[in-house]
Structure 1
Amino acid sequence: MKHLIVYAHSNTQSLNHSILETTVHALKEQGHEVVVRDLYALQFDPVFTPKDSEAMRAGHIPADIQTEQEYVRAADVITFIYPVWWAGLPAILKGYVDRVFSYGFAYASDETGVVQLLKGKQGFMISTHGTPNDIYDQIGMTEGMRMTTDAGIFGFVGIEAVGHLFLGSIGYLDAAGYEQLLSQVNTTVKELFPHA
């Protein structure tokens, strides 16, 4: 299978970066093809401008958007790896969705309503946050984030959400705790995406 990983963390020494490396390694061990789009390294512009909108209405996709859409088009599986900031996606990743998952590419509409244009693909998310998981579970935040990402992004365009790892208590664990999280990532990835 062809995997596209969209990665959104600015610090190459972060846990998110270790999660990225673990995910890539696990997928390659299973024989999958992997492409990583590191949004900070790419200096991806997250702002969907009036100029973008005008160009797209005229049928001219801006080059940076077109590049990312080609990666999405080629992928069987799309994975987002990111830290939760203010109960949602970092701005650079939200802007990626705003600009790349655009009308006419990821979805359209007709007399029946929304037409999902990315059916046949799978989606997976790994997100980190400082709050312990059980607290987010109790107050409904985990389910709220799952709805806005898995259903609100992937589901809206026809991508089948096959999993979402919510990794909590980041910043408060010891070394063994972080190793356990990386082991969980490795195991989950291999279970979801067995040998190609």
Structure 2
Amino acid sequence: MKHLLVYAHPNPNSFNHAILDTSTKALEAKGHEVTVRDLYQMNFNAVLTSEDMAALRSGQTPEDIRKEQDYIAGADCITFIYPVWWTGLPAILKGYVDRVLSYGFAYAYGSNGNIEKLLTGKKGLLISTHGTPSDIYESIGMTQSLKQTSDGGIFDFCGIEVVNHLFFGSVPQVDDAARKGMLAQVEQTFQTHF
């Protein structure tokens, strides 16, 4: 199986990077092919411009967008690994979605106005960290809101079947033992679903 891991954290020593390493090793141990797109390391241009929009409309997809679309097209599973900042995706990952999951590639409108999900057949996994305790996010409905916007509003909208969305709260406050437990959950999730 071909896996695309889209990673969005600027600190190479972050817990998110430990999640990326754990994910990669768990998949490779099972013989899966893994491609990592580290958006900060790539210095990915997250700004969708009017020039991009005109080029996409005319079928002249800019090279940096086309390259990422090729990775997505070739993947059986797409995993987003990112911190939740201001109750959403980091700007660089949101910009990746804006530019790469474009009309005509990830979705289209049918003749009767219906949404055509052009990435149907692919699986998706999301792994999010945040500083707020998970029970607070649960009690105020934030976890459900995050699932609705990312799982439903991005992945499902394009036809990507979400197999799981892991949320890890209180990451800056917990001890190493708790973080090791989180990483074990990441490894187990990949073993279970793939």
Q: Could you say which TM-score interval applies, normalised by the shorter chain?
A: over 0.9
Task: Give the whole-Å Cα distance in 2 for the aligned partners of 1:63 and 1:25.
Answer: 30
Aligned length: 193
Amino acid at match of 1:60: Q
Name the residue aligned to 2:61: 61
Name the residue aligned to 2:135: 134
How far residue 136 of structure 1 moved from its aligned partner, in angstroms, is: 0.6
List runs of 5+ in structure 2 lacking aligned partners: none
Task: Give the whole-Å Cα distance in 2 for the aligned partners of 1:36 and 1:51.
Answer: 27
How far residue 134 of structure 1 moved from its aligned partner, in angstroms, is: 1.0
Deviations 1:125-162 (A, max 9, x none): 00000111111111100000000000000000100011
Q: Secondary structure at the match of 2:9?
A: coil
Name the residue aligned to 1:183: 184
Q: Secondary structure at the match of 1:31?
A: coil
Taking the TM superposition and a 5 Å limit, the aligned residue runs for 1:68-83 are 68-83=68-83
Task: Give the whole-Å Cα distance in 2 for the aligned partners of 1:30 and 1:147.
Answer: 31
Task: Give the whole-Å Cα distance in 2 for the aligned partners of 1:188 and 1:77.
Answer: 13
Deviations 1:28-68 (A, max 9, x none): 11111100000001000000000101111111000000000
Q: Which moved more, 1:48-57 or 1:70-79?
A: 48-57
Q: Secondary structure at the match of 1:41?
A: helix
How far residue 10 of structure 1 moved from its aligned partner, in angstroms, is: 0.4
How far residue 111 of structure 1 moved from its aligned partner, in angstroms, is: 2.2
TM-score normalised by structure 2 residue count: 0.98
TM-score normalised by structure 1 residue count: 0.97
Q: Secondary structure at the match of 1:178?
A: helix
Task: Give the whole-Å Cα distance in 1 for the aligned partners of 2:189 and 2:170.
Answer: 19
Q: Is 1:99 matched with 2:87? A: no
Q: Secondary structure at the match of 1:135?
A: helix
Task: Give the whole-Å Cα distance in 2 for the aligned partners of 1:188 and 1:59.
Answer: 38
Q: Is 1:156 matched with 2:174? A: no
Task: Give the whole-Å Cα distance in 2 for the aligned partners of 1:147 and 1:56.
Answer: 27
Q: Is 1:12 matched with 2:7? A: no
Deviations 1:55-84 (A, max 9, x none): 111110000000000000000000000000
List runs of 5+ in structure 1 lacking aligned partners: none
Name the residue aligned to 1:23: 23
Cα RMSD over matched residues? 0.6
Q: Is 1:174 matched with 2:189? A: no
Name the residue aligned to 1:33: 33
Q: Which moved more, 1:64-73 or 1:178-187?
A: 178-187
Task: Give the whole-Å Cα distance in 1 for the aligned partners of 2:151 and 2:169.
Answer: 18
Q: Which moved more, 1:159-168 or 1:107-116?
A: 107-116
How far residue 95 of structure 1 moved from its aligned partner, in angstroms, is: 0.3
How far residue 177 of structure 1 moved from its aligned partner, in angstroms, is: 1.0
